Amino acid sequence: MWRNCIVETTHARCQFEIGGINFQIIFKTRCLPRGEVGGSRGLVTRELLCVIDGMCHDPNRLAIIRRLTQVHNMLYKFKSKAAGDLIMLEPTGRKVLQAIGKEPGAKGIIEVTQMDNAIAALRDAIAREEADLKEAQIAALAKGEVPPTGPEVSLRQKAVPFIEMLTRCLKEEQPIVWGV
């Protein structure tokens, strides 16, 4: 979706396409180096300043732009009295919450009574991801293809801190909240 991002010291100008419609937006930045960033959303998720393509009065396009910039800027900050805060980027937090059967949203709570099931669900999701990767590797080798290496950061690496937080909170009978 992201085609080109030029990053300056005070702003980033990015072009992208949604449903055949071209957009160009400018993000305000504070600490980014000069240079080009090809297709990297992570470095330019800053405050949206304006839509450049002359269609900024179209409410449908503005709604799409707002959703894109808000989703990619979101962080999940999980808090509890039993453990330190755990911060996850939106895609990781969403994946973890979906794995435990929670609706990914701006606010939420995991009650103590739900924590055993949440821990089991995360462990099952990790085992499924690892089994799927192993199966794909075996299938690729059988076909004489290069086996897939899997994601750069596995679900195990992303979820273990959350499992540890759930375990501590369960032991001390404290809920986990986010967005409050």
Q: Give domain limits for the chain.
A: 2-73, 75-178
Task: Determine how β-strand 75-79 pairs with β-strand 21-28.
Answer: unpaired
| Strand stretches in the chain, DSSP E | 2-7, 11-18, 21-28, 35-37, 48-51, 75-79, 86-89, 108-110, 176-178
> Of the candidates 65, 74, 14, 73, which has an alpha carbon nearest to the alpha carbon of residue 39?
14
pLDDT, mean of residues 141-163: 90
* 37 has a pLDDT exceeding 60: no
> Of the candidates 133, 138, 128, 127, which has an alpha carbon nearest to the alpha carbon of residue 152?
133
pLDDT band at 8, cuts 50/70/90? low
Task: Print burial letters for 48-57: b (CB count within 10 Å at least 16), e (below 16).
Answer: beebeeeeee
> Of the candidates 139, 126, 138, which has an alpha carbon nearest to the alpha carbon of residue 99?
126
pLDDT band at 36, cuts 50/70/90? very low
Q: How far is CA 17 from the centre of its chain?
A: 20
Distance, CA of 163 to CA of 24 (rounded, Å): 40
pTM above 0.85, yes or no: no
